[in-house]
Amino acid sequence: MNAAFALIARDVRLAWRHPNEIATILAFFVIAASLFPFGIGPEPQILARVAIGIVWVTALLACLMSLDRLFQAEAEDGSLDLLVGAPAPLELLALAKVAAQWITTALPLIAISPIVATMLHLPAEGYATLLLTLVLGTPGLSLFGGIGAALSVNARRGGALLALIVLPLTVPILIFAVAAVDAAIAGLSPRPHLFLLAGLSVFALTIAPFAMAASLRQAAE
Amino acid sequence: MNAAFALIARDVRLAWRHPNEIATILAFFVIAASLFPFGIGPEPQILARVAIGIVWVTALLACLMSLDRLFQAEAEDGSLDLLVGAPAPLELLALAKVAAQWITTALPLIAISPIVATMLHLPAEGYATLLLTLVLGTPGLSLFGGIGAALSVNARRGGALLALIVLPLTVPILIFAVAAVDAAIAGLSPRPHLFLLAGLSVFALTIAPFAMAASLRQAAE
Amino acid sequence: MNWHRFASPSNFKRLSARIFPWAAGGAALCLGYGLYQALFVSPPDYQQGQSVRIMYIHVPAAWMAMFVYANLAFAGAATLVWRHPLAEVAGRAIAPVGAAFTFLCLATGSLWGKPMWGTWWEWDARLTSVLILFFVYLAYMALNNAFDDATRGARASAVLALVGAVNLPIIKFSVDWWNTLHQPASVMRLDGPAIHPSMLWPLLAMAVGYTLLFVVLALVRIQAELIERRLGALVQARLSAGHAQ
Amino acid sequence: MYRSARQFFSPCFFLLPASSIDCAPMIGRASFEAHDLACLRGGRIVFARLAFRVDAGGLLVLRGPNGAGKSSLLRMMAGLIGPAHGALLWNGDDIADDPDAHRARVSYAGHSDALKPALTVAEHLVFHAKLRGHAADKVAAALDAFALTKLAELPARLLSQGQRKRVALGRLIAAPAPLWLLDEPTNGLDADSTARLEAAIAAHRETGGIVVAATHLDFAGAGATTLTLGERKAA
Amino acid sequence: MYRSARQFFSPCFFLLPASSIDCAPMIGRASFEAHDLACLRGGRIVFARLAFRVDAGGLLVLRGPNGAGKSSLLRMMAGLIGPAHGALLWNGDDIADDPDAHRARVSYAGHSDALKPALTVAEHLVFHAKLRGHAADKVAAALDAFALTKLAELPARLLSQGQRKRVALGRLIAAPAPLWLLDEPTNGLDADSTARLEAAIAAHRETGGIVVAATHLDFAGAGATTLTLGERKAA
Ligand code: HEM
Ligand SMILES: Nc1ncnc2c1ncn2[C@@H]1O[C@H](COP(=O)(O)OP(=O)(O)OP(=O)(O)O)[C@@H](O)[C@H]1O
Ligand SMILES: Nc1ncnc2c1ncn2[C@@H]1O[C@H](COP(=O)(O)OP(=O)(O)OP(=O)(O)O)[C@@H](O)[C@H]1O
Ligand SMILES: [Mg+2]
Ligand SMILES: [Mg+2]
């Protein structure tokens, strides 16, 4: 456990030492989301209709961009050998890396998501549920993304391959999250969707550590 | 010139040696585009309304993903020192790398864009213009992307930084391309928009080599 | 040479030589009978008319898409748990076949959708989950090919195959969990098939034919893959013998 | 910490391979040996029928031309790749039987330095100690051993090649482990640092530690055994 | 090819720095010298007041403890970083005046090998020759010089550390240039390869080439000059 906490602390410190990196991810989120009004046209009623989908899809893509080098960077500078060779369970260490990624990327994304939602004219009833879906759903995103990142270590063209692996796995999260906010806006209870969302994140939590550890061991061969 | 052709040939060969990398970028394009219907909802009339925006935004993201490591990979393995130290003009070499990227990524993307457009119910009148905007606009994307890739060499988390630099530069391309297709669908002439689009690509061509060479020289310090 | 790695493949070769003619013959027979029945003998549907004949292509393709994926996941487990070299090869060999069946299911479904639902494509839960299955196949193939070392690719994609297996129940039960455009199961249900025998028999013949076709394709592709690996090993041995002198 | 109790009770006298003839008196309790080891990389046999034995306090120097398989052997000893054939034994137990226990006893310093540009020298060593379940109390000694004390607060991106290597070697002291695996550890080191490394190795061996080092240079120590890998692979 | 005509007409006797006292007879026409050179990295002065002179056929060996600035000096000589003060002169001309001409005459082999995992050894050398505006006719000689002929068709990903280094060194022969800048070129090389490198350096010097090499080892050649960098920076 201590080893895992040390790893989280190190990764958070690394991110903190380059605050502009977090800012970059956030800016990507804001800019990518604000591209859509250019592409779709500025009519508020159409924007409002698609706002929630755009927020979630861009959050997903932003998360993906930050996951790209989660384990690849470790492999390239040789740290992966040290992590795999450490006496602590690799499952725990992989989980620690994902946790640090979530803290440094997903949390700030969640914090600024209301701004993006406002830009896209999301109806006011949706805000609370949007935040809730992000809180419940992003851990799942990060975990599935972590699996993809571990699988694609040392693969050719890591970024796009990662996307190819992760996007199909994360589509259910997207669907339930959007359904929850839609329900809230329509005045229905988002509860069942939120439960499913939480369930997906828990499912990801149960399989991701093993999948990541298995792939990282192979990568260090 | 010979040096530049040798560089293009090497990069195309590198890509060709792993044909599945191109396939991966294409798959990313298709999957990312089909994420939006998950988020936005399946109603054909709304999808058709936003189809062109989605095709262009995802084409842009796919391009970005493939640009991410354009110069970063060279810097990491030490090749950048050799390129900067080569007697050929660095402007030409940087341009050669962008050209190779365009050939191996943008061309295949253009080729499959009609499939994605069909999935998104793009009205039939828009297809020809969509292809034309892609042909005229993607060189600009690649060139502006090349500037971003050169600027972000040595910055950690290059991917997101790249997006941050490139997105604002490419917003005008996106706007004119969408406007052109919208005009074609509405039965108007897309000509003026297409001229502007071509103008943007030409503008990119005139500034990108110098901007890229300058940042690469700095990166090699 | 590490001959022990090819020991089990040689067993496989003997086994497959024995199965192959039966599977090939059976596939030809079943597909011939099924297609004849489906296209000429079976009655047009009272609601759907002639377009119902797409069903005989579409439904078994859908079943195969899922069945092959189940095999893929099993091969993945065998690759990871028993590190069986044959399982590695099998996964690599059957994935494109599964992707092809999935594509056939999507394509025929979409052809059928135009007359039935008035649209080529609809973001309905069943259709969408099959599309995801297709994407997972693509991701599997991309990952399998993404490494210089074939074993590494096989193991990485095996992990993905197992993780992606969650999608199978979603496809199967999507029609029950969400109310969808697509019709619910009428053949494979607990309380027996709800479909007229004149349509059921050709459908089953097609399904058996598809399965045998899959066996044939898998055997051929596995053998091709084994030969390719042997060739690769020989070339490598030549190269290293090259430096030895 | 994570170390299993097994190594202390392992029947050191059982299971000695018949081929092993070197039965020098042992200082500590540990022994590290291989028999009939083979390595397969990318489908090619890199080496085969390899055997050696090092006892507590021993130094095994790996030699051989480029491509002979020294680095591969070290990674195998570290448990990062599995042997294609044969086994590595610690105190007579196959290391593959209890990989966790083996990882706890190995300290591996490979070709790459595993440094994060933004972290300082001291932070690297503290993190490494914690990662391996130790307290950070040996970090000062590690800095001292490789003359890093004055660089302690510098971020790794400012270090020169040799300074980076010294940080990587400092890990050996910051997180003690009985078995040191060093891949060309003197690459890039100046004369003073090489002397410091030799001193560190001598001190480690004195306390009963085992060192395996691959090198192309005249790098040895009292009572070192040399294992020369595949002359014929030279190319 | 891209080489400017200037160097052939440069007034070799003009502009000789007053501080330069070494006026040894020149074999070829070339001379490479520095006066009052200073290097600033990350806001710190790495070295200052540095002066040297190498003539055609000369070998300058850079020595000094880790962090003394050997690599920085080599990068400066390659034109990759600019001097904070002073100048580097080729045949009396400041290299900063015509960077293109200078790049054409420099071949730099740094710490990293610049290999693409998917390209073969031969492809690397052919590409490098073309990149520098040469025909690929020296590639066979380059393969031969570093015993790479049998590895020529292997992709770089399969190479061991020392084999990779040899490919990097093969570039020197594949794309000839009068000034070789080598940063710890023997790192990772086995004894045979080191001898081959020494032979290549001797051959290059015989034709009037100039070699500057940073090293920590006993690596020299007939008539080598040694430049020892900042003892005091040792840390
Ligand atoms: C691209 C579009 C389509 C896809 C991806 C698709 C997918 C599937 C799948 C996966 C199954 C197997 C279900 C199971 O075993 O439980 C299936 C069965 C079936 N599909 Fe489709 N389908 C599509 C379009 C259509 C259309 C347009 C129709 C006709 C209205 C149709 C009619 C059927 C029927 C009758 C079955 C058999 C159900 C049973 O008896 O179990 N499908 N389809
Ligand atoms: N990841 C890999 N995949 C396939 N083959 C590899 C891999 N790594 C190394 N090899 C091969 O294994 C052989 C041994 O490599 P290794 O790095 O162990 O040699 P070495 O003795 O350390 O050489 P050097 O002195 O050059 O470092 C080489 O011939 C190389 O071609
Ligand atoms: N990119 C950089 N930014 C800032 N400072 C740097 C950079 N690279 C090196 N330095 C500093 O410059 C000094 C000289 O480094 P250099 O790499 O030239 O040393 P060196 O003599 O080659 O040492 P070694 O023998 O270890 O390779 C070091 O003290 C280092 O801290
Ligand atoms: Mg080695
Ligand atoms: Mg140096």
Joined together, the tokens standing for residue D120 give: 């300082």
Read off the amino acid at residue D45.
Answer: I
| Side-chain half-sphere CA neighbours of C179 within 13 A | 0
The mean pLDDT value for D211-220 works out to: 84
Give the whole-angstrom CA distance, residue E181 versus residue E120: 24
* Mutation test residue for ligand 3: of E63, E71, E219, the one with most atoms within 8 Å of CB: E71
The mean pLDDT value for B189-201 works out to: 91
Residue A66 is predicted with a pLDDT of 77
- B126 vs B36, B122, B190, D79, E41, CA distance in Å? 19, 7, 10, 59, 56
Q: Which one-letter DSSP state was computed for residue C51?
A: G
pLDDT tens digits, residue range C192-207?
Answer: 666 677 778 888 888 9
Which strand (E) or helix (H) includes residue B221?
Answer: none
Largest CA distance in chain E: 52
Contact with chain E for residue C243, Cβ under 8 A: yes
Q: What is the CATH number of the domain that holds D47?
A: 3.40.50.300
Largest CA distance in chain C: 78
Task: Locate the domains of chain B by residue range.
Answer: 2-220
Does D235 fall in a domain? no
Confidence bin at D147 (pLDDT 50/70/90) = very high
Read off the amino acid at residue B178.
Answer: V
Give the whole-angstrom CA distance, residue E22 versus residue E12: 14
D165 pLDDT more than 90: yes
Spatial contact of E136 and E74, defined as CB atoms under 8 Å apart = no
Residues in A touching D118 (Cβ below 8 Å): 14, 17-18
Cβ–Cβ of A220/D80 closer than 8 Å? yes
Ranges A44-58, A108-122, B107-121, E161-175, most confident = E161-175
Confidence bin at D3 (pLDDT 50/70/90) = very low
CA neighbor of D199 nearest in space, from D215, D217, D222: D222
For residue E231, the CA-to-ligand 3 centroid distance in Å is 14
Residues in C touching D47 (Cβ below 8 Å): none
Edge-to-edge strand ranges of the sheet holding D210-214: D106-109, D179-183, D210-214, D59-63, D224-228
Q: Count the Cβ atoms, other than its own, within 10 Å of residue E229.
A: 20
pLDDT along chain C (245 residues), means of 10: 49 82 89 83 70 85 94 92 86 94 92 79 75 90 83 88 85 68 66 69 88 92 86 69 46
- A49 vs A134, D65, D136, CA distance in Å? 19, 67, 55
* Mutation test residue for ligand 3: of D113, D150, D158, the one with most atoms within 8 Å of CB: D158
Give the whole-angstrom CA distance, residue A176 versus residue A198: 10
Exposed / middle / buried, residue C193 (Cβ in 10 Å: 0-12, 13-18, 19+): middle
Identify the residue with better confidence: E11 or B180. B180
Range of the domain at D217: 4-228
Find out whether the beta carbon of E193 lies less than 6 Å from any atom of ligand 2. Answer: no
Find out whether the beta carbon of C59 lies less than 6 Å from any atom of ligand 1. Answer: yes
Joined together, the tokens standing for residue B127 give: 């297809």
Residue showing tokens 């299993």 = D4
Q: Count the Cβ atoms, other than its own, within 10 Å of residue A58.
A: 26
Give the whole-angstrom CA distance, residue C200 versus residue C202: 6
Q: What percent of chain B clears pLDDT 70, i.e. is strictly above it?
A: 89
Residue D27 is predicted with a pLDDT of 42
Number of helices (H) and strands (E), helices first, in chain B? 10, 0
Contact with chain E for residue B169, Cβ under 8 A: no
Q: What percent of chain C clears pLDDT 90, i.e. is strictly above it?
A: 25
Find out whether the beta carbon of C130 lies less than 6 Å from any atom of ligand 1. Answer: yes
A19 pLDDT more than 80: no
The mean pLDDT value for D42-58 works out to: 87
Spatial contact of C52 and C44, defined as CB atoms under 8 Å apart = yes
Q: Count the Cβ atoms, other than its own, within 10 Å of residue C223.
A: 18
Give the whole-angstrom CA distance, residue B218 versus residue E88: 19
Helix (H, G, I), strand (E, B) or coil at D109: strand
Identify the residue with better confidence: E170 or A75. E170
Give the whole-angstrom CA distance, residue C40 versus residue C34: 10
Residues in A touching C163 (Cβ below 8 Å): 144, 147, 169, 207, 211
Residue E13 is predicted with a pLDDT of 33
Identify the residue with better confidence: C185 or D150. D150
Q: What percent of chain D clears pLDDT 90, i.e. is strictly above it?
A: 57
Give the whole-angstrom CA distance, residue E140 versus residue C120: 59
pLDDT tens digits, residue range A166-186?
Answer: 888 888 888 888 888 888 888
Does D216 fall in a domain? yes
Residues in D touching C230 (Cβ below 8 Å): none
Name the closest-CA residue to atom 10, ligand 2.
Answer: E158
Lowest mean pLDDT among B30-44, C219-233, D214-228: B30-44
Does D128 fall in a domain? yes
Name the closest-CA residue to atom 4, ligand 3.
Answer: E42
Residue D234 is predicted with a pLDDT of 39
What is the least distance, in Å, from the CA of D164 to any CA of chain E?
A: 9
The mean pLDDT value for B148-169 works out to: 66
Phi-psi sector, E56: left (phi>0), alpha (psi -120 to 50), beta: beta
ipTM of the complex: 0.80
B218 pLDDT more than 50: yes
pLDDT tens digits, residue range E122-153?
Answer: 999 999 999 999 998 999 999 999 999 989 98
D235 pLDDT more than 90: no
Residue showing tokens 């959050």 = A59
D4 pLDDT more than 50: no
Q: Which of C2, C149, C244 sits opposite D42 (nearest CB)?
A: C149
What is the least distance, in Å, from the CA of D122 to any CA of chain C?
A: 36
Residue E149 is predicted with a pLDDT of 92
Spatial contact of E59 and E223, defined as CB atoms under 8 Å apart = yes
pLDDT tens digits, residue range D66-110?
Answer: 888 999 999 999 999 989 889 999 998 999 999 989 999 999 999
- A137 Cβ contact partners less than 8 Å away, ≥ 6 residues apart: A173, A176, A177, A197, A200, A201
Find out whether the beta carbon of E46 lies less than 6 Å from any atom of ligand 3. Answer: yes
Residue E3 is predicted with a pLDDT of 36
Joined together, the tokens standing for residue A175 give: 């669907």
Q: Kindly report the CA angle at D148 between D147 and D154, in degrees rounded to 5?
A: 155
Long-range contacts formed by D76-82: CB under 8 A, 24+ apart:
D76/D37, D76/D39, D77/D32, D77/D106, D77/D179, D77/D181, D77/D212, D78/A81, D78/A85, D78/D106, D78/D108, D78/D181, D79/A85, D79/D103, D79/D106, D80/A81, D80/A84, D80/A85, D80/A220, D80/A221, D80/D108, D81/A221, D81/D39, D81/D41
The mean pLDDT value for B192-205 works out to: 92
Give the whole-angstrom CA distance, residue C163 versus residue A140: 13
Residues in C touching D232 (Cβ below 8 Å): 244
Contact with chain A for residue C244, Cβ under 8 A: no
Name the closest-CA residue to atom 3, ligand 1.
Answer: C109
Confidence bin at D22 (pLDDT 50/70/90) = very low
Give the whole-angstrom CA distance, residue A198 versus residue A202: 6
Atom number of ligand 1 nearest to Cα C189: 41
Q: Count the Cβ atoms, other than its own, within 10 Å of residue C82.
A: 10
Cβ–Cβ of D116/A79 closer than 8 Å? yes
Number of domains comprising chain E: 1
Confidence bin at D188 (pLDDT 50/70/90) = confident
Find out whether the beta carbon of D170 lies less than 6 Å from any atom of ligand 2. Answer: no
